[in-house]
Amino acid sequence: MQDNSYRNERDEMRDLLRQFENLRTGMSHGFLEEDAFEKIIDYFDDKDDIAGALEAAELGVGQFPYSASLMVKKADLLIATRKYNDALEILEKAEILDSSDIDIYILKTDVFLALDEHEKAVGLLEEAISLFEGENRINLLFELADVYDDYEEFDKVFDCLVHILEYEPNNEEALYKICFWTDFTGRSEESIRLHQHIINEYPYNELAWFNLGAAYQGLKLFEKSIDAYKYALAINEKFDYAYRNMADAYIRLRKYRDAIESLEKVIELARPEDVIYEAIGHCYDRLKQYAQARFYYKKASHLNSDDSKLYYKIACTYINELSFSKAVQYLESAMRIHRMQPEYNLAMGECLLELGNIKDAIIHFSNVVKAKPRGIAGWEALIRCLYKEDFLEEATEQIDNAQQVAGDKPLFLFYQSAVLFAMGKSKEALLILQKAMERAPRLLKKFIELNPTILQNQQVVDLIAYYKRKRSI
């Protein structure tokens, strides 16, 4: 029966096209009804034959000069050919004939936007919204939201979606969109009130529960967001985005095992994604289960081999296990993608330092300094490396450079004091240490880490004791 229906439609279309061809060439033809012209226009339009469709529209309007629907089709084609003023003129005529046709207002909006007349588009839609009810009003509100989006009036986009949901609380498209715009505009408190109202009326609306959870999450009320997501999952246990967001909330609360459980549900319900495997790896990392973390980081890297960050994270798991040679292998993979990334160079330098490759360690620490000259981490690592290898003159030079480029930070004073002690300049070293202690006594541990035997120096011990007493008073 379906084959017969298709065949009949095809034969009917062939007959209409034959009659249309006779009409346009002035040959004898049968009478074409208004809906026949509409079908012919749609046929040419579907074939991307705009010229043919426009000719059919013009002939149709000529045959039926009071047909608003044919005028609308002609206007749509004129817009496609950028004849905006002609389109607007014919839409004005169509509106007089049939002001209840929503397409007239949508096409006029398109014309105003094409002419960059934003205010006219907004005014038209706001006026039209008051004329319509039901689905037409909803469609116009969505159209108005799109206009506001185009002109970056984002709070008004949110307002339009609120109006839609007040009018039709279960509108899925609006529920999906308002979740994004709540986060984008930061209007979480309003979103909470809106969705609580919807839930009171429709307690089994899973999207409303989800959006409520997302709004709580936007306010960092993670416990409440988790409760909302659980309600969404009680309604739809296959709602994978609820598991995703719930996992994020658990991570924020440092409940890593609960987060892993939620992320594993995502894997069960959706296609494998590198970000999900990476998130599971992160959770195991935080739990100090480095082998498990590494397993999931590797699964993530198999899905996204161009993400250098994943190789870096794998390397960090090896560093935490003191497996520096293996860490170097993965850092090399990361640096093949982003050679000068400061984090990677810093980690590589530390690994090479542990492995006794001082020369290359210094090169990588120098790369960090070049990439982030105003950052402290690169200077600290470079100076520490030079100090530990007794390159004291070079260490002194780099401390001077660091103070000039990164600023007169207290840490550099502690390192300067340590270098001076190592060079046998105890008097000068004590003066610098005193200055450092005045400014940042909490950094003393950095000074001691460089050379723990310094605590055998009675003058240093006395100075430290003095500042401890001073702080306790």
Using one digit for the tens of pLDDT, what is the confidence trace for 386-428?
999 999 999 999 999 999 999 999 999 999 999 999 999 999 9
- Which pLDDT band, with edges at 50, 70 and 90, does 33 fall under? confident
pLDDT for residue 20: 78
pLDDT, position 55: 86
What is each CA distance from 147 to 112, 125, 154, 181, 278, in whole angstroms? 10, 9, 10, 15, 38
Sign of CA dihedral 159, 164, 167, 168: negative
Per the structure block, which two tokens stand in for 345? 């160079």
The rounded distance, in Å, linking the Cα atoms of 7 and 380 is 80
Dump pLDDT digits (tens) for 217-249.
Answer: 999 999 999 999 999 999 999 999 999 999 999
What pLDDT does residue 6 have?
A: 57
Q: What is the pLDDT of residue 1?
A: 46
What pLDDT, on the 0 to 100 scale, is given for residue 165?
A: 97
pLDDT at 291 over 70: yes
Closest CA to 342 of 353, 352, 331, 358: 331
Euclidean distance between the first and the last CA atom of the chain, given in angstroms as a whole number: 97
Alpha-carbon distance of 385 to 355, in angstroms, equals 12
Cα 200 versus chain centre, distance = 31
Percent of the chain with pLDDT over 90: 80
The secondary element (H helix, E strand) that includes residue 374 is none
Question: Residue 470's pLDDT is what?
Answer: 73
- The H or E element spanning position 79 is helix 68-80
pLDDT above 90 for 23: no
- Using CA atoms, how far residue 127 sits from 109, 141, 149, 344, 471, in Å, is 12, 11, 19, 58, 71
Range with the lowest mean pLDDT among 29-33, 137-141, 171-175? 29-33
CA distances from 117 to 84, 90, 130 (A): 12, 18, 21
- Which residues are CB-contacts of 299 (< 8 A; sequence separation ≥ 6)? 272, 277
| Cβ within 8 Å of residue 234, ≥6 positions away | none
> Which residues, other chains included, contact 162 with Cβ-Cβ below 8 Å and sequence gap of 6+?
178, 190, 194
Query: Stretch 283-302: mean pLDDT, rounded?
Result: 98
Rounded distance, CA 352 to CA 364, Å? 9
Q: Lowest mean pLDDT: which of 7-11, 82-86, 209-213?
A: 7-11
DSSP codes, 92-160? HHHHHH-TT-HHHHHHHHHHHHHTT-HHHHHHHHHHHHTT--HHHHHHHHHHHHHHHHHTT-HHHHHHH
Rounded Cα gap, residues 194 and 165, in angstroms: 8
- Average pLDDT over every residue of 325-353: 97
pLDDT at 413: 95
Q: What is the sign, positive or negative, of the torsion defined by CA atoms of 34, 38, 43, 48?
A: positive
Categorize the per-residue pLDDT at 10 as very low, low, confident or very high, splitting at 50, 70 and 90: confident
Residue 28 is predicted with a pLDDT of 54
Q: If residue 399 lies in a helix (H) or strand (E), which one and from where to where?
A: helix 392-405
| Residue 181 CB-density burial (10 A; 0-12 exposed, 13-18 middle, 19+ buried) | buried
- Per DSSP, helices labelled H in 236-375 are 240-252, 256-269, 274-286, 290-303, 308-320, 324-337, 342-354, 358-371
Q: Sorting pLDDT into bands at 50, 70 and 90, what band is 188?
A: very high
The C-alpha atoms of residue 284 and residue 297 are separated, in whole angstroms, by 10
Buried b (16+ CB within 10 A) or exposed e, 129-161: beebeeebbbbbbbbbbbbbeebebeebbbbbb
Average pLDDT of the chain, as a whole number: 92
